[in-house]
């Protein structure tokens, strides 16, 4: 009696699993299938070409080879691998509902897919953190610009953490459990319906990165607003009224502090006796020149302040776009994956899950346009590769 009941439950579970994994060929007409196949191939090509363009720009243009752009290169490498390997192997499986390449290739595809997508997310966090430091910690950030080992270590760490999050489970889950729950003609992870593992892994893969990037973005906005409130630009025109507060205010707005010699100069002059300062002011023939030099310094400093503030505003806007696009592309898949695992795949329709799966990959297609295209140097490098004549005309000043 117990054996028959268990067998009936197993058959019911298999039926539910089969219905939830229905191929697209049984749900749509031939015309719709052709259209879907075209869109999938087109998305893969866009992902490949866009990220290859970023990699070529980094290789060909030496102006791009500084610390922050290494993270863009790392992101492009992970995203181009998604377009070259993950998408092409999944397209026939998605259309037919059957995996024809064997269990070995299936394991490799699953490990690469989880590794590359997770590395893409971690690279986004790394880029956002680098932008965060460039705005809020400008002094220490510029001091480390020439140290190449720092970005290399962070780039390698991204791949190590991405591998450790999913790949051991993908490769070893069935050996630890003792059996496999995946059919011969199917290809998905053994933990696909383990709700606890999916919740923990999704927290590290999506929720923590999303909160981190959001925190960086909000903190940058607050930093810019605080620097704007520190004082109006009229302060730059009258630095002698409150020398110390003026210098500190401008330094806060620029994100750097004044050189020590200038600060010491202002402090020593403010601590002199009043009578001595009057005598010095009236008797010194070079006093007028020093005032002119200080005014020149204030004008140049104010110009640099405005330029730095405008640059930081652009960084803040680009990070805001990053947060929104990342959340839109990853949130539906992550939530449905957790829900699907909790209900053993019975409460989520396969077509809906398929849409969120491709939406996750769309993030790899959009990254070349969201990140490098926000920077003038990358745009010029792209123009140099794609339109060399237009680039030459622009450089010569005739364009």
Residue 78 lies in a domain: yes
pLDDT tens profile 152-202: 899 999 999 999 999 999 999 999 888 888 888 899 899 988 888 988 999
pLDDT tens profile 309-326: 666 677 677 777 878 888
Owning domain of residue 125: 26-213+348-396
Burial class (CB in 10 A: 0-12, 13-18, 19+), 139: exposed
Residue with tokens 């898949």: 333
Residue 126 lies in a domain: yes
Banded pLDDT at 19 (limits 50, 70, 90)? very low
Residue 176 lies in a domain: yes
Residue 388 lies in a domain: yes
Residue 42 lies in a domain: yes
Residue with tokens 């630009």: 233
Give the global pTM. Answer: 0.75
HEC assignment per residue over 115-144: HHHHHHHHHHHHHHHHHHHHHHCHHHHHHC
Residue 28 has pLDDT above 80, yes or no: no
> Is residue 255 left, alpha or beta, with left meaning phi > 0 and alpha meaning psi from -120 to 50?
left
**Cα dihedral 324/329/330/336 (nearest 10):** 130
350 in Cβ contact with 251 (< 8 Å): no
- Nearest CA among 119, 35, 45, 129 for reference residue 83: 45
Enter the DSSP assignment of 331.
H
Task: Give me the pLDDT at residue 255, please.
Answer: 47
Distance (Å, rounded) from C-alpha 393 to C-alpha 109? 46
381 in Cβ contact with 53 (< 8 Å): no
Burial class (CB in 10 A: 0-12, 13-18, 19+), 377: middle
Residue 84 lies in a domain: yes
- State the CATH number of the domain containing residue 147: 1.20.1070.10
Residue 159 lies in a domain: yes
Distance (Å, rounded) from C-alpha 190 to C-alpha 180? 7
Residue 290 lies in a domain: no
Count of structural domains, the chain: 1
Q: CA-based angle 337:338:340, to the nearest 5?
A: 65
Residue with tokens 């070995």: 104
């Amino acid at each position: 009696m117990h054996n028959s009941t268990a067998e009936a439950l197993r058959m019911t579970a298999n039926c539910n699993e089969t219905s939830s994994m229905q191929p697209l060929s049984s749900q749509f007409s031939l015309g719709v299938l052709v259209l879907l196949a075209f869109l999938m191939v087109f998305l893969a090509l866009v992902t490949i070409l866009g990220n290859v363009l970023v990699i070529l720009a980094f290789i060909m243009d030496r102006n791009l080879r500084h610390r922050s752009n290494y993270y863009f290169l790392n992101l492009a490498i992970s995203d181009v691998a998604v377009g070259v390997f993950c998408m092409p192997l999944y397209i026939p499986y998605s259309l037919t509902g059957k995996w024809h390449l064997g269990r070995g290739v299936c394991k490799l595809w699953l490990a690469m897919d989880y590794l590359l997508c997770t590395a893409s997310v971690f690279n986004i966090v790394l880029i956002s953190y680098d932008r965060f430091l460039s705005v809020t910690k400008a002094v220490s950030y510029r001091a480390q610009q020439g140290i190449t080992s720092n970005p290399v270590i962070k780039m390698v760490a991204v791949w190590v953490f991405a591998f450790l999050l999913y790949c051991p489970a993908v490769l070893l889950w069935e050996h630890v459990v003792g059996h496999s729950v995946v059919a011969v003609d199917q290809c998905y992870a053994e933990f696909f319906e383990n709700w606890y593992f999916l919740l923990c892994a999704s927290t590290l893969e999506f929720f923590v990165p999303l909160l981190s990037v959001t925190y960086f973005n909000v903190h940058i906005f607050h930093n810019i607003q605080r620097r704007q409130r520190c004082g109006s630009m009229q302060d730059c025109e009258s630095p002698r009224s409150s020398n110390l507060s003026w210098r500190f205010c401008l330094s806060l707005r620029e994100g750097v502090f004044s050189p020590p010699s200038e600060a010491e100069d202002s402090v020593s002059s403010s601590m002199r006796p009043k009578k001595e300062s009057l005598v010095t002011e009236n008797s010194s023939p070079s006093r007028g020149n020093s005032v002119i030099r200080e005014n020149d310094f204030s004008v140049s400093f104010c110009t640099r302040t405005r330029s730095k503030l405008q640059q930081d505003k652009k960084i803040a806007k680009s990070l805001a776009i990053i947060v929104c696009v990342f959340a839109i592309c990853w949130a539906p898949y992550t939530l449905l994956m957790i829900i699907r695992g909790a209900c053993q795949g019975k409460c989520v329709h396969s077509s809906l899950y398929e849409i969120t799966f491709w939406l996750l990959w769309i993030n790899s297609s959009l990254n070349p346009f969201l990140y490098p295209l926000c920077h003038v140097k990358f745009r010029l490098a792209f123009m140099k590769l794609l339109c060399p004549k237009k680039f030459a005309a622009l450089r010569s000043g005739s364009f």
